[in-house]
Amino acid sequence: KAGVTQTPRYLIKTRGQQVTLSCSPISGHRSVSWYQQTPGQGLQFLFEYFSETQRNKGNFPGRFSGRQFSNSRSEMNVSTLELGDSALYLCASSLRAGEPHEQFFGPGTRLTVL
Amino acid sequence: DQQVKQNSPSLSVQEGRISILNCDYTNSMFDYFLWYKKYPAEGPTFLISISSIKDKNEDGRFTVFLNKSAKHLSLHIVPSQPGDSAVYFCAASGVLFGNQFYFGTGTSLTVIP
């Protein structure tokens, strides 16, 4: 079974621009979560989507948004990029939502903001 | 406020010996825990989970122990192999949090051949 895929793997943007990252979950998984990892920090939860609905949101500004499509693929958007948004963005898929369950991560998208 | 803490940033162990990675949490509502291994330039790989109804879960060379009263869990790797060299993250969640996991900052394990 194919794993979680994320595109693109690397991205360079400048301050003020916006960016869209994509995630395709494991086949049959309907829950997709997004995390941000910065140097010295653990993974910070951004949000979770299930059945095209945002179920949970972490403590990030409104510049961070996401959506999920009917095929469970998810996109994450960051508008008005800031230097501090440079990070590894990880997507994780899970079979179920509503209760904690094993999450399987993609390889991540490395975003650099100049 | 870091609700999940891994106080040892790094650990070195001889090949064949036991590696013990520790994790502490502060939120008593956490009742489900995961351990991940992460290599550079890759996403975290799921290793093992444990729920609060158990105090131990074993999968091959990996065993996770949970001490609820101390709010502490540990991952034991026996025997340690050079391929185990990676950063290990613990993560915690609970019914109240759905699939939102709180991660520690990781422990970098080096297994010396």
Residue A42 touches chain B, beta carbons under 8 Å: yes
Euclidean distance between CA atoms A40 and A11, whole angstroms: 21
Residue B85 touches chain A, beta carbons under 8 Å: no
Instruction: Determine the pLDDT at residue A102.
Output: 86
Euclidean distance between CA atoms B68 and B54, whole angstroms: 10
Going by pLDDT thresholds of 50, 70 and 90, the confidence category of residue A54 is very high
Q: Read off the pLDDT of residues A72-100 as tens digits, 9 standing for 90 and up.
A: 999 999 999 999 999 999 999 998 777 77
Give the chain A residue whose CA is nearest to the CA of B35: A102
Euclidean distance between CA atoms B80 and B60, whole angstroms: 12
Residues B11-38: what's their mean pLDDT?
96
Residue A41 touches chain B, beta carbons under 8 Å: yes
Residues B70-82: what's their mean pLDDT?
97
Instruction: Determine the pLDDT at residue B13.
Output: 98
For residue B97, pLDDT beyond 90: no
Instruction: Determine the pLDDT at residue B41.
Output: 80
- Count the residues in chain A: 114
Task: Measure the N-to-C terminal CA separation of chain B; round to a whole number of Å.
Answer: 38
From chain B, pick out residues whose CB is under 8 angstroms from the CB of A106.
Answer: 43
